[in-house]
């Protein structure tokens, strides 16, 4: 199994309000990862994280 890339910090920077566009910034062990996201991507990510958190309870 490949080595995991540990997450140290995360943030979302709003680039535009209308249409909603932002930058998901992840500070990881192997360097930063930046991903451009829009409202649809953010809502999809929120749902996926919600399902993940429910499984932890």
Judge whether 35 and 15 are in contact, CB under 8 Å.
Answer: no
Given a cut of 90, whether residue 54 has pLDDT beyond it is yes
Residue 1 has pLDDT above 70, yes or no: no
Give the pLDDT confidence of 24-53 residue by residue, as tens digits: 999 999 999 999 999 999 999 999 999 999
pTM comes to 0.80
pLDDT of 8 above 70: yes
Residue 17 structure tokens: 């309000």
pLDDT score at 31: 95
DSSP 8-state class, residue 53:
H
Closest CA to 35 of 18, 2, 10, 17: 10
pLDDT value for 53? 93
- CA-CA distance, 29 to 21, in Å (whole number)? 26
Nearest to 13 by CA among 4, 26, 3: 26
């Amino acid at each position: 199994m490949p080595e995991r890339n540990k997450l140290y910090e995360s943030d979302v920077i709003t680039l535009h309000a209308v249409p909603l566009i932002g930058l998901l910034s992840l500070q990881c062990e192997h360097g930063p990862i930046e991903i451009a996201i829009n409202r649809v991507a953010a809502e999809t990510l929120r749902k996926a994280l919600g399902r993940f958190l429910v499984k932890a309870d």
